[in-house]
Amino acid sequence: MEEPGTVVIIARPGSDWSSSLEVLSERYAYRVVLAGSAAEALTTLSSIHVDLAIAEDNENESGGLDFLAGLRVSHPDIIRVYVTPKSGSMLEQTLAKAAIFQFLLKPLDAAQLGLVVERALETRELARRHRILSREFKISGGALMFAERKTALFRPESQRFEKLVYVSEQMAEMCDLARQAAQTELPILIQGETGTGKELLARAIHYNSLRRGSPLLVQNCGGMPDELLQSELFGHKRGAFTGAISDRLGLFRAADGGTVFLDEISEVSPSFQVSLLRFLQEGEVKPLGSDKVLHCDVRIIAASNRPLKALVERREFRQDLYFRLKGFEFEVPPLRARPNDIAPLAEFFAAKHADALGRKILGVSASVIDKLSNGEFPGNVRELENEIRRMVALARDGEYLTTRNMSPALLAAAPRERPGAGGFQPEGVTLKDQVESLEKQIVGRALARNHWNQSRAATELGLSRVGLANKIKRYNLVPSG
């Protein structure tokens, strides 16, 4: 599923981008986000995957160019296009600092802009493929390129859901459902251990919902005194409590039409739970110290790293609120339950931090991936990212990340138990999932060895032909080219 690309435009107040917007989103089907300021553009960049940024300046201004120069450092992957009224030799000098892909002179020609954006994205895609191929070639020393290899160097291309990177079945399934859930109006509950990507998922959902044009506001509910949390979300009247020196709107009303992300929802008080329930049921907001009931339209996404179900059983969390919150429920699996995500994540973080630190790293060596795959990662993806960031900082230009740069704790991690050995790698957490994943691999290999001659493979495995046919069907096995 190839996505057409996302473009952010940082527009000057009063300038008219309507025909460009039309060309980019109608003719080319790009997703276009119009930001009114640099700050707004940065919030967008932190939430969604952006491919290209367009900034503009008027006569005697340089805010747009400065923004692009900053982007070169903070988000070097994003292609930069500049729109300016002036031409001449001075321009060339100033352009160099932002290393822009192309500049366009005002008045802007929408068709020309469309073409420039298309070419820019094509160029980047070609560069990406070239990078992958030349890396494969280097690792394999060229000669091994087409020979059979024991290591999984030809890894499947990773998938993305906004900023989430993954290849595992578990994540693919979860993100597919999340894409659908995003389109509905139901509240969403996201659970999972610390550092698994709950907030990233919440942001991805908001930006894939019909509310993406309205704000996503975030409230961490952990460690907040009840009164403060109530007033943050529902607002207050002046004088409602000591320190309430003026009226406060509250997050729910500030996010009207958009989404509120309530993090660490397990930590809220019983009385807050009642207010939240009322809000979910009736859309009613009553600011502290006011008896006026106001209405607003906000979608709630809540997250917790403590399982709410257990808290409900212990009567520490209201059951009716729990049921209301989980219009859709997502459990982000811990990293150790999806070890095949480790390689693409490590590569992704290596590239990200190499860019950020201005390092030229060739990639992550297979021995590092091997070691990382044994790690327990109690801090999940966050811990993996920290490890890679540290390794990039220690690595030398023009090299791969090697086990030399790894932190002692991870280096010492014992290899995981690998039942069956022989390069079989179980997937999943439960015994049933792991056994099934092994069975699938064993049957698949027997078939491949016997060139899909099913009677021979069945004999080898000690199965009847019908028994083998059932397993092929059950695991969707197909001959690979």
CB of 175 to Mg ion, least distance (A): 17
**Given 305, 340, 405, 441, the residue binding ligand ATP (CB under 6 A):** 305
**Does 199 engage in binding with ligand ATP (CB under 6 A)?**
yes
Peptide bond before residue 107 is cis, with ω within 30 degrees of 0: yes
* Beta carbon nearer to ligand ATP, 346 or 443: 346
Report the alpha-carbon distance of residue 78 to residue 124 in Å, rounded: 10
* Beta carbon nearer to Mg ion, 267 or 399: 267
Decide which of Mg ion, ligand ATP, none touches 30; Cβ closer than 5 to 8 Å per partner kind: none
CB of 248 to ligand ATP, least distance (A): 26
* Beta carbon nearer to Mg ion, 51 or 199: 199
Decide which of ligand ATP, Mg ion, none touches 318; Cβ closer than 5 to 8 Å per partner kind: none
What's the burial of 402, exposed, middle or buried (CB within 10 Å: 0-12/13-18/19+)? middle
Q: Is the dihedral of CA 199, 204, 205, 206 positive or negative?
A: positive
Contact 347, 363 (CB under 8 A): yes
* Beta carbon nearer to ligand ATP, 64 or 363: 363
**Given 20, 196, 231, 275, the residue binding ligand ATP (CB under 6 A):** 196
Contact 39, 11 (CB under 8 A): no
Stretch that binds ligand ATP, among 123-131, 188-196, 427-435, 457-465 (CB under 6 A): 188-196
Q: Which amino acid is at 338?
A: R
Decide which of ligand ATP, Mg ion, none touches 305; Cβ closer than 5 to 8 Å per partner kind: ligand ATP
* Three-state secondary structure call for residue 404: helix
**Does 355 engage in binding with ligand ATP (CB under 6 A)?**
no
Q: Is 433 left (phi over 0), alpha (psi -120 to 50) or beta?
A: alpha
Report the alpha-carbon distance of residue 74 to residue 352 in Å, rounded: 10
Report the candidate in 174, 229, 222 with the shortest Cα–Cα distance to residue 198: 174
DSSP for 147-158, written as a single string: S--SS--SPPPP
**Does 198 engage in binding with ligand ATP (CB under 6 A)?**
yes
Decide which of ligand ATP, Mg ion, none touches 165; Cβ closer than 5 to 8 Å per partner kind: ligand ATP
Q: Is the dihedral of CA 415, 419, 424, 428 positive or negative?
A: negative
Residue nearest to Mg ion (CB): 199
Residue 357-396 contact track with ligand ATP, rule CB under 6 A, x = bound: ------------------------xx--x-----------
Positions in the binding site for Mg ion (CB under 5 A): 199
Residue nearest to ligand ATP (CB): 197
Lookup result for tokens 């107040």: 13
**Does 204 engage in binding with ligand ATP (CB under 6 A)?**
no
Residue 39-58 contact track with ligand ATP, rule CB under 6 A, x = bound: --------------------
Report the alpha-carbon distance of residue 219 to residue 344 in Å, rounded: 31
CB of 311 to Mg ion, least distance (A): 18
DSSP for 110-166, written as a single string: HHHHHHHHHHHHHHHHHHHHHHHHHHHHHHTTTGGGGS--SS--SPPPPEEETTEEE
E strands within 11-94?
A: 31-35, 52-56, 79-84
Decide which of ligand ATP, Mg ion, none touches 206; Cβ closer than 5 to 8 Å per partner kind: none
Residue 135-174 contact track with ligand ATP, rule CB under 6 A, x = bound: ----------------------------xxxx--------
CB of 198 to ligand ATP, least distance (A): 3
Report the alpha-carbon distance of residue 177 to residue 301 in Å, rounded: 15
CB of 284 to ligand ATP, least distance (A): 29
CB of 196 to Mg ion, least distance (A): 9
DSSP for 256-291, written as a single string: TTSEEEEESGGG--HHHHHHHHHHHHH-EE--BT--
Residues within the interface to ligand ATP (CB under 6 A): 163-166, 192, 194-200, 305, 345, 381-382, 385
